[in-house]
Structure 1
Amino acid sequence: MMKERMKVSLPPEVKKYIQSYMREHHLSFTGDAISRICQEHEEVQKKEDDSIKKIVKDVTQNIEDLLQRERLHIKKELLYMEQNIERSTRSSLKEVEDYSIAKRGELFASLLEGYEK
């Protein structure tokens, strides 16, 4: 890996953090510590991005599954409603037909009575 020399000005708390990091990880050069901190930061960012993508994917899948179940439920309910309407319509038509037959029968009976007189 090619290295490039830089002159950097840091706030005292950042300098203390880097020196502490160097002691903790047994590093001799400030540049190595900064490189390693940056590399670790990139890895953490990538893990967070991957984690967020996984969460979004899982939530999206759960929403799609829920919508699919709801569509099936609505489809079943519509089918039941259609069947009930059909049954009710047939029943109503039957009643109308029976009433019509009864009225025709009464009319025919009254005509016969009038004819017999």
Structure 2
Amino acid sequence: MMKKRMKLSLPPEAKKYIQSYMKEHHLSFTDDVISRICQEHEEAQKKEDDSIKKVVKDVTQNIEDLLQRERLHIKKELLYMEQNIERSTMNSLKEVEDYGIAQRGELFASLLEGYKK
């Protein structure tokens, strides 16, 4: 890795942080500390991005599963409704047919009665 010289001005808190990092990780040069901090930051950012992607993927999958279950539920309900409508329609048609038969029977009976006279 090629290094380039930079002149930095840091606030005292940043300087203290770099010095404590150097002691904690047994590093001798400020450039190594800054490089390592940048690398750790990039890795943490990547982990965070991966974590967000995983959460989004899991939530998306859960939503898709929920929608699939709802579609199946709606499909079943529509089937039951269709069967009920069909049954009700058939019963109504049967009643109408029975009523028509009864009316024709009464008409036929009255015609026979008129014929007998």
Question: Same-fold call, TM > 0.5?
Answer: yes
Q: How does 1:20-35 map to 2 (within 5 A)?
A: 20-35=20-35
One-letter amino acid of the counterpart of residue 64, structure 1: E
Structure 2 unaligned spans of 5+:
none
Structure 1 stretches of 4+ moved >6 Å:
none
For this pair of structures, how many residues does the alignment match?
Answer: 117
Post-superposition Cα deviations, 1:37-74, rounded to whole Å, max 9, x if no partner, equal: 00000000000000000000000000001001101110
Report what 2:54 is aligned to: 54
Query: Aligned to 2:33, what secondary structure does the other structure show?
Result: helix
Report what 1:5 is aligned to: 5
Report what 2:104 is aligned to: 104
Structure 1 unaligned spans of 5+:
none
**TM-score w.r.t. structure 1 length?**
0.99
**Distance (Å, rounded) in 2 between the aligned partners of 1:43 and 1:89:** 68
Query: Aligned to 2:84, what secondary structure does the other structure show?
Result: helix
**TM-score w.r.t. structure 2 length?**
0.99
**Distance (Å, rounded) in 1 between the aligned partners of 2:101 and 2:28:** 108
